[in-house]
Amino acid sequence: MSTDAAPPTVADVVAELERRYPPAWAEDWDRVGLVLGEPCAPVRRVLCVVDVVPETVAEALDAGVDMIVAHHPLLLRGVSSVAPTTYKGRIVHRLIKSDVALYIAHTNADVAAPGVSDALAARFGLTGLRPLHRPAPGSPAHGDGRGIGRIGELPEPMTLAELTRHAAAVLPATAWGVRAAGDPGRMVRTLAVSGGAGDGFLADATAAGVDAYLTADLRHHPAGEHLAADGPALLDAAHWATERPWLDDLAALLREATGVETLVSDLATDPWTVHAAPPAVDDKEPRP
């Protein structure tokens, strides 16, 4: 884009986002689209974030951005007030006073191809990608390879223990790290991944016959019952870490399509900030 050309507007950026991630692809319960910002306002710099929290808002203001594009909705559930005496109200007021627009691409970006899980799959070098969970026939998102999660082949087989260490190395670092469930020596060739909370797709991973499934927010009872039914091995990473890779793709899209300067937030917004591993078995004192 020429330096003499007028910068794109909020409406221009929104149009490009909605061309790639149509709001109609979002789940019925989701809240996506433009949350704050004048459509005619110019946009020279955008910050891409997973979560709209005080820390990422401060990062945006320090960087002098005109717009935030976030994955998780700030106002997912109905509210009756955005007074500055409330947590989310303070965020809304700060953004409005600073003339910073806010746009959300959530489950419509999850289901897109390429989308959130394609970026996650790329961290593992997966090939032959296909959706883990396809949209229902007749739904707006159905077709063209779209769907929640991705299934692919690892470049080289790994044991579950090796894959867990590899996942911790290739995903953004968090205190949570990566934990796994299953036989540590199990060979993994086919891997399913799903960015964000994915225990609703355990049955899909089993039906697909994959060797392992990596996602976030796995719960005790569903995971235990899944393994007891001979389902694939499980890898559980931090929610933020499984969705942060998509921000690089999002930033590249906006940079190429609109010419705006795009920044990516690496502030880990995972709420878990401390992790302590138990001592190794050999280091424990023998019991009497």
> 154 and 166 in one domain?
yes
Give the pLDDT of residue 284: 45
Number of domains in the chain: 2
Residue 194: predicted pLDDT: 98
- Can you tell me the mean pLDDT for 262-276? 96
119/86 same-domain check: no
Question: Are residues 251 and 198 part of one domain?
Answer: no
Answer yes or no: is 248 a known binding residue: no
Residue 57 pLDDT more than 50?
A: yes
What mean pLDDT comes out for the span 182-194? 98
Rounded Cα–Cα distance for residues 134 and 149 (Å):
9
Residue 168 lies in a domain: yes
Both 128 and 204 in a single domain?
Answer: yes
In a domain, 69, yes or no: yes
| pLDDT tens column, 222-235 | 999 999 999 999 99
106 appears as a binding residue in the annotation:
no
Classified as helix, coil or strand, 191 is strand
CATH of the domain at 173: 3.40.1390.30
pLDDT of 280 strictly over 90: no
Domain annotation covers residue 276: no
Ligand-binding annotation for 282, yes or no, is no
Taking only the tens place, the pLDDT of each residue in 17-45 is 999 999 999 999 999 999 999 999 999 99
Q: Residue 145: give the domain boundaries.
A: 112-239
Q: What does pTM read for this prediction?
A: 0.94
Tell me the per-residue pLDDT of 129-150, one tens digit each, with 9 for 90 and over.
999 999 999 999 999 999 999 9
Residue 55, annotated as binding a ligand: no
- Is 110 assigned a ligand-binding role in the annotation? yes
Mean pLDDT across 86-106 = 97
Q: How far apart are the first and last CA of the chain?
A: 74
Alpha-carbon distances of 191 from 81, 128, 282, rounded to whole Å: 44, 11, 32
Q: What angle do CA 6, 52, 202 make, to 5 degrees?
A: 120
What's the confidence (pLDDT) of residue 2? Answer: 47
